[in-house]
Structure 1
């Protein structure tokens, strides 16, 4: 087995939404500019019970926030990664036709989900550094993304957001 074989572990990509390792908390240095730009977050459909995004309305496990109503005017979504993100991305695209939706996902440019999102979004912000998710590993260090990230706006122009480490913001 190669040294990098762990990166291609399909079990990791196919974890269910409810898997404990799917919870990746958006760092404050990304959330604060988003809150300011949106004037607050109306709904976070996939967060933790303590509501770290401070959304007016939020859903957390065991609720399936992807299937529940998205009635707020502003939505921030940092969904479970792996294949689980596909249905969340589809919901963000649909809801972006009716409200302001921000979606934070891996910036895998070869991925069909990201390509579909880029075709449908009104703006995209590529984040330069790997995000540190605020989840502690067993060794006490913070969990960091194994990839770059992109913040996608549906019905939102992201050019006014000042997030540290942004490579590019483009209104599409």
Structure 2
């Protein structure tokens, strides 16, 4: 995932991995369309990497989405909203066009994570600093909304 200019300058990198504790809490996923080429742990049963271009491939089953941040995220959230089955991770910038176009009216629930998580590098090491911004998980589909509500990861808000 690429971080936008609002994040810490220390996090300017193309690939930051979701903490495994978050993934474990959310259960198994069928597809990760934004997976790094080299990954220390699986995020789903099937992985599309940058080389595969997950935007051009078919999405199926329950999707885990940790997309590139910034303007690029809109394309990924458009496809996730259309797919409507999965959980996505994004900075909690609730005032943005992306939130108004693809999250507030289309998502089933939003969970605001407690604190600022530490992401991981592709070699499996935790970053020595936190995300630099609040992060949220966005559920598409009622079953995914229920999982967010039942987790202890943060505060959950229902959207529809």
1:24 is aligned, of 12, 16, 30, to 16
Q: Structure 2 stretches of 5 or more lacking a match? A: none
Structure number with higher strand proportion: 1
For residue 113 of structure 2, the aligned residue among 127, 144, 147 is 127
* Structure 1 pair 118–27 and aligned structure 2 pair: CA distance change class (3 A): same
Question: Which of structure 1's runs of 4+ aligned residues deviate more than 4 A?
Answer: 162-165
Q: Which moved more, 1:51-60 or 1:107-116?
A: 51-60
Task: Check conservation: 2:23, 2:43, Cα contact below 8 A.
Answer: no
Three-state SS of the structure 2 residue aligned to 1:119 is coil
| Aligned position for 1:83 | 71
Give unmatched runs, 5+ long, in structure 1: 1-6, 13-19
Asked if structure 2 preserves the Cα contact closer than 8 Å seen for 1:27 and 1:132, the reply is yes
The alpha-carbon deviation at position 111 of structure 1 amounts to 0.7
Task: Compute the RMSD of aligned alpha carbons.
Answer: 2.6
- Residues 8 and 48 (structure 1 numbering): CA distance in 2 closer, same or farther, change over 3 Å? closer
**Residue 103 of structure 1: CA displacement?**
1.1
Helix, strand or coil for the counterpart of 1:60? coil
Select the structure of larger CA radius of gyration.
1
Give the Cα–Cα distance (whole angstroms) in 2 for the partners of residues 82 and 104 of structure 1: 13
Q: Does 1:110 align with 2:83?
A: no
**Paired residues, what number?**
147
Which structure ranks higher in relative contact order (CA pairs < 8 Å, sequence separation ≥ 6)?
2
Q: TM (normalized to structure 2)?
A: 0.79
TM-score (normalizing by structure 1): 0.74
